[in-house]
Amino acid sequence: DEPFFGGTAADLRAARAANPTTPILRKDFMVSEYQITEARALGADLILLIASCLTPTEVRQFSEFAHALGLEVLLEVHDEHELRSHLADRVDLVGVNNRNLSTFVTDVGTSARLAGLIPNHFVKVAESGLQHARTIQELRQAGYQGFLIGETFMRTPDPAAALLTLVGELSTPAGQFAG
């Protein structure tokens, strides 16, 4: 969604062309089957369904439709209510957005609080507000296997260098972080 996330269809196509085997997420406010079909046509491997924007029925229907097209589904929740009401076995990954989409306040403790409520057969993804390797390591310990980091990199003058720095810090044995 270009207005909110800054990405375009051309960006997704370019990412696919440059990374033919890397899974690519279409991060968008998905509200129709047309968008899901478009995601597949553009080369995405998975889509984002945001619980606060959809009904539980829409999550189930869109998940089934996405799977029929060979796409996986990342369900994004922000609180326990969204998790309990929208979680369906038809989703593949569960993302916990640390940013409240109503207030835009970010609290990385949200992922820690919800970790134990997500059944273990789902891939857990922590989203938003992840700026430090130590936070990511702590969330790994809480059971998260994926991390959606965007704003942290996009606010730096050199996103590639920031990514390399973070990867380097994550490669350091636990407890030996410089910062």
Q: Where are the domains of the chain?
A: 2-171
The string of pLDDT tens digits covering residues 43-88 is: 999 999 999 999 999 999 999 999 999 999 999 999 999 999 999 8
Q: Is residue 178's pLDDT more than 60?
A: no
Q: Which of 147, 85, 77, 148 is nearest to 113 (CA)?
A: 77
SS3 at position 20: coil
Q: Give Cα separations from 60 to 24, 67, 173 (angstroms).
A: 21, 11, 41
Q: What is the pLDDT of residue 150?
A: 81
Burial of 23 by CB count in 10 Å (0-12 exposed, 13-18 middle, 19+ buried)? exposed
Q: What is the pLDDT of residue 102?
A: 86
pLDDT bracket for residue 152 (50, 70, 90): confident
Q: Which of 64, 65, 53, 123 is nearest to 94 (CA)?
A: 123
Widest Cα–Cα separation across the chain:
48
CATH number of 2-171: 3.20.20.70
